Amino acid sequence: GHELCARALLENGAQVDHAADNGATALILSCAGGHDLCARALLEVGAEIDTAGPQDYTALMLASAYGHDLCARALLEKGAQVDYANNNGFTALMLSCQDGHDLCARAVIEAGASLEAASKDGFTMLMAACYGGLLSIVERVLPLSRVDAAVADTHSQGGMTALMYACQQGHE
């Protein structure tokens, strides 16, 4: 990201929350690309944190999906909605887990993300962690009272369980 260019534009009246035709804002693009300094510059001037852009993903969801933990942390520090679910029911935690981004998953968990979230087709956060091979997250959430053995046996649409996702992806 080109933080200094962004700051110069912002200082000269650039519209911080302008959205492109697909709904993407500068903050969404910064976070999707992992440009944490640009994201911080935008947040400093009051960029809307929880705007949903393409595929109904927020900046936090995109930072988490692509493993950009510095962007995710910057958003969380400014109060990003940690449990926003897009039109398919996916959250930042589910996206970070599914793609194996441990640092992002930890950041959203520490910010209070729901461990019980599930997509519209029944894909849970635990399934996502197993799919992404995040043993540290699986071990962290299984002992919690909110995530018990019954959750591990929950089925997504199509009958898949967390164990099946772990084995399908080769995560023993």
Amino acid at 140: R
127 vs 162: CA distance, rounded Å: 4
Read off the pLDDT of each residue in 148-164 and give the average, rounded to a whole number. Answer: 66
Q: How does pLDDT run across 26-65, given as a tens digit for each residue?
A: 999 999 999 999 999 999 999 999 999 988 999 999 999 9
Give the pTM.
Answer: 0.89
71 pLDDT above the threshold of 50:
yes
- Tell me the backbone φ, ψ of residue 76, rounded to 5 degrees: -65, -40
Read off the pLDDT of each residue in 71-83 and give the average, rounded to a whole number. Answer: 97
pLDDT band at 148; cut points 50, 70, 90? very low
pLDDT at 127: 87
Q: Which stretches within 12-134 are classed as H helix?
A: 26-33, 36-44, 59-65, 69-77, 92-98, 102-110, 125-132
